[in-house]
Amino acid sequence: MYVLLTVMALVWMFPLVWAVYNSFRDYDYVLLNGYLSVGGYTFSNYIDSWQIGGIPHYFFNSLIITVPSVLLILFFGSMAAFILARFSWKFNIFMLAVFIAGNLLPQQTLLTPLFRLYNAIPVPYWMSSSGSLYDSYWGLIIVHVAFQTGFCVFVLSNYMKTVPHELLEAATVDGASLFRQYWQVVMPLCRPALAALATLMVTWIYNDFFWLSP
């Protein structure tokens, strides 16, 4: 089994390793001698892509959208999840279903309404060169927060239910407010879940092209 898994891992990794290897080779040399040849090493491919492709500009744009979106998603999602996990009331299931339903709604169905809405909402020109939410960082951040918060609430609410209720009772007896219980008791215990969600959110938002304005 150990040998089989090792061979499967090597076979799985070979295309990626070979692609990285060929990225350090001259394109004309590879065309002339074949992809299985050896030689023609150069860093010009990365230099050209960095300078000509405008990678710093696009990477900075992605950071402006991804970082605030992930932070807001985790913050709002964790607060909503804390309330759903902390209190037992008859609307808990309904509220959780509302958050989950937001993830089940196809984003394509909202493309045209959001386009019209964003063009109709005026914002200062220091926020957007178009004078509206359309074609702005703010519009993309709002969309990602709205669509991804539901999944965050679903995951964190189930994770927070595993936190012993006695910890919160002890914090209440010690005079801790509800927000302090959330911030200083529950949130530190949810670091594994927050880290996993942050990784997923960064991957989804950073790789998103659907909501990018032309």
- The reply to whether 158 and 63 lie within a common domain is yes
Tell whether 214 is covered by a domain. Answer: no
- The reply to whether 146 and 70 lie within a common domain is yes
Q: What's the rounded Cα separation, in Å, for the pair 117 and 71?
A: 25
- The reply to whether 183 and 77 lie within a common domain is yes
Q: What's the rounded Cα separation, in Å, for the pair 70 and 149?
A: 9
Contact 118, 109 (CB under 8 A): no
Alpha carbon distances (Å) from 113 to 107, 116, 118, 120, 161: 11, 5, 9, 11, 37
Tell whether 211 is covered by a domain. Answer: no
> Is 118 buried (19+), middle (13-18) or exposed (0-12) by CB count in 10 A?
buried
pLDDT over 70 at 6, yes or no: yes
Q: What does the pLDDT read at residue 81?
A: 93
Of 83, 59, 56, 64, give the one whose Cα is nearest residue 153.
83
Q: What's the rounded Cα separation, in Å, for the pair 93 and 5?
A: 43
What's the whole-number mean pLDDT along residues 167-178?
90
The pLDDT-based confidence of 144 (bands split at 50, 70, 90) is very high
Q: What does the pLDDT read at residue 204?
A: 92
pLDDT over 70 at 213, yes or no: no
- The reply to whether 25 and 98 lie within a common domain is no
Of 141, 113, 114, 137, give the one whose Cα is nearest residue 205.
141
Q: Among 19, 34, 49, give the residue marking a domain's end.
A: 49
- Residues 96-134 pLDDT 10s: 888 888 778 888 888 888 889 988 988 888 888 888 888
Q: What does the pLDDT read at residue 186?
A: 94
Q: What does the pLDDT read at residue 9?
A: 94
- The reply to whether 41 and 70 lie within a common domain is no
Tell whether 147 is covered by a domain. Answer: yes
Cut 0.85: pTM above it: no
pLDDT over 80 at 214, yes or no: no
What's the whole-number mean pLDDT along residues 49-75?
91
Between 53 and 148, residue with greater pLDDT: 148
Tell whether 212 is covered by a domain. Answer: no
What's the whole-number mean pLDDT along residues 83-90?
85
- Supply the mean pLDDT for the chain: 89
- The reply to whether 62 and 35 lie within a common domain is no
Q: Which domain holds residue 10?
A: 2-49
Percentage of the chain exceeding pLDDT 70: 99
Q: Which string of DSSP letters, residue by residue, matches 23-61?
A: HTB-HHHHHHH-TT----B-SHHHHHHHHTS-HHHHHHH
3-state DSSP assignment of residue 145: helix
Q: Which helix (H) or strand (E) holds 74?
A: helix 55-86
Token duo for residue 108? 């394509």
The pLDDT-based confidence of 12 (bands split at 50, 70, 90) is very high
